[in-house]
Amino acid sequence: MLANPVICEREMVLETDTGRYKIGDGVKNYADLAYHGIDGKPSQITEDGFWEIYDPATDVYVKTSHKAVPEDVQVSVKTNNATTYILTFVYAAGTFDTPNLKGQDGATYDDTAVRNALTTLQNQINGLVSGNASVAIESFNEIIAFLANVEDTETLSGIIAGLNQSIANVQAAIPTKTSELQNDDHTVKDADYVHTDNNYSNEEKAKATESLRFKDITVATTLTGLSIANYSIKVTLSAASALSFASTPAEGWECMINIYNSSGLDLNQPLPNASDWLCEDTSMTIPLNGYGEISVRYSFGHYWVITKVYEPSGQHSG
């Protein structure tokens, strides 16, 4: 090691025997450098970033020419366009512009050759795979996956023959006649089917039940306490009776009551038109062996009643 080396700039050297230290400037040898922190007073840094050392002769700090902190460097973009990209560096010693970073020494940047090469490569690939590279890659991967399970002793023709035989076996096993079905009633059975009597929702059941009202007919000999189960009600009257129902129907319910007069006389049938009944008439006269028709609809909590009378001949009597 040199006895009196040049100390690098801002490098501090501590004397272990005296406790004193020096700071290099990158030029002077160690012996030519001044001590810092003489008499126990440390060096300090000025506001503009230079070292100050204590001078015991004058009892003041003396500013040196050595920077205590790195200099600030600012970088900005000077030019940025399609062909040119230049940066500017600003620091204490001045400014510096970089060369064009999009080309050597400011040469114009041109990627035409690269683009042309890529286009040529794409055209070559499309030519090999009939114009669709992605489909070709997928097909190739499928072939690789298929061949992964093929043994070395197998041939492609043998594999294809085996596949064809398997297909033929399946086709032969498919029944073409009901007599070939393997069950007593010659019908197709689903092995996973589980029978249940509750295949319908409550809403569907209600709709099915409602539809039966128009098919079935209630037969009675009195208009009192009629069932609301069916839409059609057939009544043979030998005497007048008060019209009523056994229970209150649901909103929107309706029925058609057909009456035959078997009393032997013209029958004066009273009609309810008070309380929750809405009817224009208080009674209807059904001729001997004639017919009467009463249409009832339940809505807004009321029974809406419309009547008609027919002669024995079937003509409407008004």
**Residue 52 forms part of a structural domain:** no
Mean pLDDT (the chain, rounded): 77
Q: Is 70 exceeded by the pLDDT of residue 252?
A: yes
Q: Is 60 exceeded by the pLDDT of residue 129?
A: no
Of 1-10, 11-20, 146-155, the poorest mean pLDDT is in 146-155
What is the C-alpha separation between 293 and 259, in angstroms, rounded?
6
What is the C-alpha separation between 174 and 259, in angstroms, rounded?
61
Average pLDDT over residues 237-266: 93
**Residue 257 forms part of a structural domain:** yes
**Residue 203 forms part of a structural domain:** no
Average pLDDT over residues 128-145: 64
Q: Is 60 exceeded by the pLDDT of residue 40?
A: no
51, 84, 101 — which closes off a domain? 101
Q: What contacts 21, CB < 8 A, 6 or more positions away?
A: 12, 13, 14, 15, 35, 36, 37
Give the pairing of strands 254-261 and 291-299: antiparallel
The answer to whether 297 and 313 are in contact (CB under 8 A) is: no
Identify the residue whose tokens are 């940025």.
Answer: 80
Distance (Å) of CA 160 to CA 35, 141, 144, 149, 253: 95, 19, 16, 14, 69
Q: Is 90 exceeded by the pLDDT of residue 288?
A: yes
pLDDT score for 169: 81
83, 101, 119 — which closes off a domain? 101
Q: Is 60 exceeded by the pLDDT of residue 168?
A: yes
**Residue 281 forms part of a structural domain:** yes
pLDDT score for 286: 94
Give the pairing of strands 254-261 and 94-97: unpaired
> What are the tokens at 170?
């399946």
CA 39 to chain centre: 78
Average pLDDT over residues 268-295: 93
**Residue 270 forms part of a structural domain:** yes
Number of domains comprising the chain:
2
Average pLDDT over residues 114-130: 64
Mean pLDDT comparison of 39-43, 135-139, 265-269, highest-scoring range:
265-269
Average pLDDT over residues 109-134: 62
pLDDT score for 106: 47
Of 50-59, 71-80, 141-150, the poorest mean pLDDT is in 141-150
**Residue 262 forms part of a structural domain:** yes
pLDDT score for 265: 93
Q: Which of 255, 268, 274, 264 is nearest to 309 (CA)?
A: 268
Average pLDDT over residues 190-198: 63
**Global pTM exceeds 0.85:** no
**Residue 91 forms part of a structural domain:** yes
Per the model's pLDDT, the better-predicted residue between 48 and 286 turns out to be: 286
Q: Side by side, which strands form the sheet with 21-23?
A: 12-14, 21-23, 35-36
Percentage, residues of the chain above pLDDT 90? 27
The answer to whether 37 and 13 are in contact (CB under 8 A) is: no
Q: Is 90 exceeded by the pLDDT of residue 16?
A: no
Q: Which of 316, 292, 317, 315 is nearest to 305 (CA)?
A: 292
Give 57-89 pLDDT, tens digit per residue.
Answer: 677 877 877 666 555 667 788 888 877 778 887
Q: Is 90 exceeded by the pLDDT of residue 236?
A: yes
pLDDT score for 78: 87
Residue 127 burial (C-beta neighbours within 10 Å; 0-12, 13-18, 19+) = exposed
Domain of residue 86 covers: 70-101
pLDDT score for 88: 82
Backbone angles phi, psi at 157, to 5 degrees: -65, -35
Rg (CA), the chain: 56
pLDDT score for 13: 82
Residue 28 burial (C-beta neighbours within 10 Å; 0-12, 13-18, 19+) = middle
Mean pLDDT comparison of 22-26, 133-137, 173-177, highest-scoring range:
22-26
**Residue 65 forms part of a structural domain:** no
